[in-house]
């Protein structure tokens, strides 16, 4: 039996290859034992997305865990943030979620949440795999039991809890404003929570992709993919909306569009949110971001005299800074954001949406005006990220290749950061990062430059240079 592949968040595999129901059940036994070791005896929450085999895998996992002595609660089809917050609400020690997040429809996988909702650390994941490799699965003397939780209770509980982030007066002001909001759930599982949330806020809401579809209507359920945003952008260019939001397959990523339908880069969203938390709410702590995040976050932290932490890609690397309160906000380059004051210490897209509505209302500005004023205060540079299908051979020297590539572009490498791939620093606001993709294969390329034309030149040069890399055969 093939083991699912560990990635930036959980384990995943192509359905029929690495992902199978027996493989999911096997992994879940190791997860259950790990959660019991870490948190003590208690109830495990099981939920899933709408992908192929997700419901069948959840049923098989529940049956297996009950047979080996665990107490299980079934939450049904839920977004990942709704499941995370339900751990506290339902007094569970952890959750097992069957989902492949933003990957294409033919992928599936498993995520883990540890009460109060944190993702496992790298050490935690290694412990789970060690349990499985050593055959340390323990069958308890008494059979466990399972019960179901009403779906609506979980996603409405999540949506209503987020409203407590603001004061009742601030919520009422948003309700009076009656913002026009459009959300594209990309046929994933986030529509119910978003609908409940924005209706609580009195918004005039339009939902696209609200019907779940295991094939995601032929789209990639990743809001960072421009093709996946095309539908909502078209609507926003032809109708008036104040805000646009796009979620991924399991609902823990949130991409923002301004009132014109323009995509707002996650580093700018982080900047707006961080300013509000520090200057208006007087929250303590700095900002933790993953390596590819735009440099404006560093400039903001420097100006506000707060610490800036940089980690490898994966929310599991930034969440410890939230738990320790060293950071008040954490996120990265793909629309994932969490907060130290959130009960679950996990990605919390509804809190981000709520704060953005509040910020725009307070300043009496649109999203585009808020972003423009942010750039006036802290500077602006051009940013791009893209994926190439090339997977280098194991012995290929990616670092040396990157150095030559940067030099051939006419730049000198000032510094190299190597905690996740290789980030070649040219100056404070110019850099190129190359890293291997953790799940699907291929490579991720990120670049930030001073002007758009130069960024496009770099994009064309790097894309062409990738053809010279000796490729690992499948």
Residue 422, pLDDT above cutoff 70:
yes
In this prediction, residue 474 has a pLDDT band, given cuts at 50, 70 and 90, of low
Residues 255 and 167 in one domain: yes
Task: Give the model's pLDDT for residue 82.
Answer: 95
Whole-prediction pTM? 0.95
* Total number of domains in the chain: 4
Residue 445 resides in a domain? yes
Residues 6+ apart with CB under 8 A from 133: none
Residue 361 resides in a domain? no
Domain harbouring 325, CATH code? 3.40.120.10
Residue 39 resides in a domain? yes
Q: How confident is the model over 321-331, as a mean pLDDT?
A: 97
Residues 162 and 225 in one domain: yes
Task: Give the model's pLDDT for residue 468.
Answer: 85
Residue 394 resides in a domain? yes
pLDDT digits (tens, 9 = 90+) for 117-145: 999 999 999 999 999 998 877 778 789 99
**Closest to 147 (Cα-Cα) out of 85, 55, 66, 49:** 66
Residues 277 and 192 in one domain: no
Residues 28 and 143 in one domain: yes
Task: Give the model's pLDDT for residue 439.
Answer: 77
Task: Give the model's pLDDT for residue 240.
Answer: 97
In this prediction, residue 1 has a pLDDT band, given cuts at 50, 70 and 90, of low
| Strand order across the 11-14 sheet | 5-6, 11-14, 107-114, 92-98, 43-48, 71-77, 145-148
Q: Is the dihedral of CA 374, 380, 382, 387 positive or negative?
A: negative
* CB of 109 closer than 8 Å to CB of 6: no
pLDDT digits (tens, 9 = 90+) for 139-192: 787 899 999 999 999 999 999 999 999 999 999 999 999 999 999 999 999 999
Q: What radius of gyration, in Å, describes the C-alpha atoms of the chain?
A: 22
- Domain limit, last residue, from 347, 368, 400: 347
pLDDT digits (tens, 9 = 90+) for 232-282: 999 999 999 999 999 999 999 999 999 999 999 999 999 999 999 999 999
Range of the domain at 243: 157-259
- CA 317 remoteness from chain centre: 12
Q: Residue 238: CA atoms inside 13 Å, Cβ hemisphere, count?
A: 6
- CA 37 remoteness from chain centre: 27
Residues 166 and 298 in one domain: no
Residues 143 and 161 in one domain: no
pLDDT digits (tens, 9 = 90+) for 67-108: 999 999 999 999 999 999 999 989 999 999 999 999 999 999
Residues 418 and 449 in one domain: yes
Task: Give the model's pLDDT for residue 407.
Answer: 94
Element (H, E) at 286: strand 286-290
Residue 377 resides in a domain? no
- Domain limit, last residue, from 239, 259, 279: 259
Q: Give dist(CA 8, CA 1) in Å, integer.
A: 22
Q: How confident is the model over 327-351, as a mean pLDDT?
A: 93
Residue 468 has φ and ψ, to the nearest 5°, of -90, -5
Residue 360 resides in a domain? no
pLDDT digits (tens, 9 = 90+) for 16-72: 999 999 999 999 999 999 999 999 999 999 999 999 999 999 999 999 999 999 999
Task: Give the model's pLDDT for residue 287.
Answer: 98
Residues 188 and 116 in one domain: no
Residues 23 and 122 in one domain: yes
Task: Give the model's pLDDT for residue 2.
Answer: 63
Task: Give the model's pLDDT for residue 278.
Answer: 97
E-strand stretches of 31-159: 43-48, 71-77, 92-98, 107-114, 145-148
Residues 161 and 132 in one domain: no
Residues 108 and 189 in one domain: no
Q: Give dist(CA 137, CA 166) in Å, integer.
A: 45
**Closest to 33 (Cα-Cα) out of 123, 138, 124:** 138
Q: Give dist(CA 194, CA 219) in Å, integer.
A: 20
pLDDT digits (tens, 9 = 90+) for 344-373: 789 999 999 999 999 999 999 999 999 999
Burial of residue 303, with CB atoms counted within 10 A of its CB: 0-12 exposed, 13-18 middle, 19 or more buried: exposed
Residue 362 resides in a domain? no
Give pairs for 367-372: CB < 8 Å, separation 24+: 367/242, 367/243, 367/256, 367/257, 367/258, 367/259, 367/264, 368/258, 368/259, 368/260, 368/262, 370/272, 371/258, 371/264, 371/268, 371/272
In this prediction, residue 7 has a pLDDT band, given cuts at 50, 70 and 90, of confident
Task: Give the model's pLDDT for residue 466.
Answer: 84
Mean pLDDT of the chain: 94
Residue 375 resides in a domain? no
**Closest to 270 (Cα-Cα) out of 233, 298, 306, 229:** 298
Q: Compute CA distances 52 → 1, 107, 175, 377, whole Å.
A: 19, 9, 38, 47
Kindly give the pairing relationship between strand 243-247 and strand 254-257: antiparallel
- Domain limit, last residue, from 259, 283, 301: 259
pLDDT digits (tens, 9 = 90+) for 435-461: 988 777 888 999 999 999 999 999 999
Task: Give the model's pLDDT for residue 473.
Answer: 66
In this prediction, residue 428 has a pLDDT band, given cuts at 50, 70 and 90, of confident
Residues 229 and 165 in one domain: yes
């Amino acid at each position: 039996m093939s083991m699912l592949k560990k990635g930036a968040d959980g384990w995943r595999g192509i359905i029929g290859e690495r992902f199978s129901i027996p493989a999911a059940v096997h992994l879940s036994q190791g997860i259950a034992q790990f959660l019991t070791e870490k948190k003590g005896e208690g109830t495990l929450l099981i939920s899933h997305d709408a992908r192929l085999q997700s419901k069948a895998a959840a049923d098989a996992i529940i049956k297996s865990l009950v047979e080996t002595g665990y107490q299980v609660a079934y939450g049904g089809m839920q977004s990942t943030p709704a499941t995370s917050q339900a751990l506290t609400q339902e007094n569970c020690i952890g959750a097992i979620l069957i989902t492949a997040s933003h990957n294409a429809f033919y992928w599936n996988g498993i995520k883990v949440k540890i009460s109060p909702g944190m993702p496992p650390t790298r050490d935690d994941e290694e412990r789970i795999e060690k349990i499985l490799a050593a055959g340390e699965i323990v069958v308890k003397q008494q059979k466990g039991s399972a019960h179901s939780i009403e779906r609506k209770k979980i996603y409405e509980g999540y949506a209503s809890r987020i409203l407590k982030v603001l004061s009742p007066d601030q919520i009422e002001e948003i309700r009076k404003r009656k913002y026009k909001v459009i959300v594209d759930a990309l046929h994933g599982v986030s529509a119910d929570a978003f609908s409940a949330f924005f209706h609580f806020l009195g918004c005039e809401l339009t939902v696209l992709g609200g019907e779940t579809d295991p094939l995601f209507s032929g789209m990639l359920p990743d809001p960072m993919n421009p093709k996946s945003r095309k539908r909502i952008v078209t609507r926003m260019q032809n109708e008036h909306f104040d805000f646009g939001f796009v979620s991924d397959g399991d609902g823990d990523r949130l991409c923002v569009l301004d009132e014109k339908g323009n995509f707002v880069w996650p580093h700018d969203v982080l900047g707006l949110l961080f300013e509000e938390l520090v200057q208006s709410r007087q929250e303590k702590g700095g900002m933790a971001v993953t390596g590819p995040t735009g440099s404006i976050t560093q400039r903001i932290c420097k100006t506000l005299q707060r610490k800036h932490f940089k980690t490898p890609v994966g929310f599991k690397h930034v969440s410890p800074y939230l738990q320790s309160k060293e950071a008040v906000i954490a996120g990265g380059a793909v629309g994932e954001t969490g907060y130290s004051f959130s009960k679950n210490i996990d990605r919390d897209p509804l809190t981000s949406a709520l704060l953005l509505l509040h910020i725009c209302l307070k300043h009496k500005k649109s999203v585009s005006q808020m972003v423009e004023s942010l750039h006036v205060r802290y500077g602006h540079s051009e940013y791009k990220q893209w994926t190439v299908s090339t997977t280098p051979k194991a012995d290929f020297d990616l670092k040396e290749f990157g150095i030559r590539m940067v030099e051939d572009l006419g730049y000198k490498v000032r510094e190299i950061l190597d905690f996740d791939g290789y980030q070649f620093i040219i100056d404070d606001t110019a850099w190129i990062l190359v890293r291997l993709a953790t799940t699907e294969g291929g490579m991720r390329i990120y670049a930030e430059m001073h002007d758009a034309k130069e960024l496009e030149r770099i994009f064309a040069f790097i894309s062409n240079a990738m053809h010279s890399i000796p490729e690992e055969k499948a």
